[in-house]
Amino acid sequence: MSVIDLDYLRTWIGTSRIDEDLIAARHARLMAATVDCLAMEKICDGELLPPLWHWIYFLEGMPSRELGLDGHPVRGGFMPPVSLSNRMWAGGRVSFLAPVQIGSSVRKKSTILKVDHKRGTSGDLVFVTVLHELTSLQGELLIREEQDIVYKNSTPPKKTSSGVSPIPSAQFMKAFTPDSTTLFRYSALTFNGHRIHYDVDYCRKTEGYRNLVIHGPLNATMLAAYAEEISGRRVHNFSYRGLSPAFVGDSIMLQANVLGDKVTLNSVLGTGAVCMQAEALIA
């Protein structure tokens, strides 16, 4: 196969798998401790699962012999065998159609929706979009999600300017500064073996990052929670897009503006650079 054999990679479109899991309160309480959730009394059976916390369930546990160098499962199983070295969770769109109750059993169907090739400033990019549908055991659709995974080749770390741009103003702002313990706990909760989140030598020498990378899904989870915190209402739809990586040691400012039923959100680094953009529709 050539470096980017798009026709071959697209033969994975339509591939699907089904899983089932218990939305266990114990696992949710561990997540609450990881993100310093203040409403611990609501993390119990019968209460509603906070937005995007479904990512800590339906975990795939592959034996070590079936993992690649990066700590992810070897490609060519469910995910197409993209030959580009770096894999990142780039963004997605989530619709919360019905409540997911803690303590309930939920079924998840995942399907490869599309595979696209683009050329970026750093070279080839391959985007794989995966559709996830979470349903009750009675068949009610609870969550519909499209998840974008991007593959690219390693690039040397870019030199950053010593200048600092002012952080743009917003109606609401809140600091979020995850440390290496936060990353360890979130990786453990999601059974995420990707070494960019815990192996600093691998980060620098193999994938070209300057430090441990903060999980994009963790960043998105904090933004979704912030939308509910400032509005006092449940998120109905949530879309997000990673623009640049954030690293351990970075101070992240969560920003939000409320416009009727819409909340626009950014995660902004101390340099003024936006690392993630998001939009929430609140019910």
pLDDT of residue 155: 64
Where are the domains positioned within the chain?
6-282
Predicted confidence (pLDDT) at residue 44 exceeds the cutoff of 50: yes
In tens, the pLDDT along 150-205 reads 998 876 545 444 456 666 679 999 999 999 999 999 999 999 888 999 999 999 98
Query: What token pair was written down for 91?
Result: 């963004």
> pLDDT per residue over 91-144, tens digit each?
999 999 999 999 999 999 999 999 999 987 778 899 999 999 999 999 999 999
Measured torsion, CA atoms of residues 109, 57, 238, 9, in degrees rounded to the nearest 10: -50
Domain 6-282 indexed as CATH 3.10.129.10:
yes
**pTM of the complete model:** 0.91
pLDDT for position 2: 47
CA distance linking residue 196 with residue 199, whole number of Å: 6
Mean pLDDT score of the chain, rounded to an integer? 90
For the stretch 201-258, pLDDT in tens is: 999 988 888 999 999 999 999 999 999 999 999 999 999 999 989 999 888 999 999 9
Confidence of residue 1 (pLDDT cuts 50, 70, 90): very low
Burial 161-184 (b: 16+ CB within 10 A, else e): eeeeeebeebebeeebebeeebbe
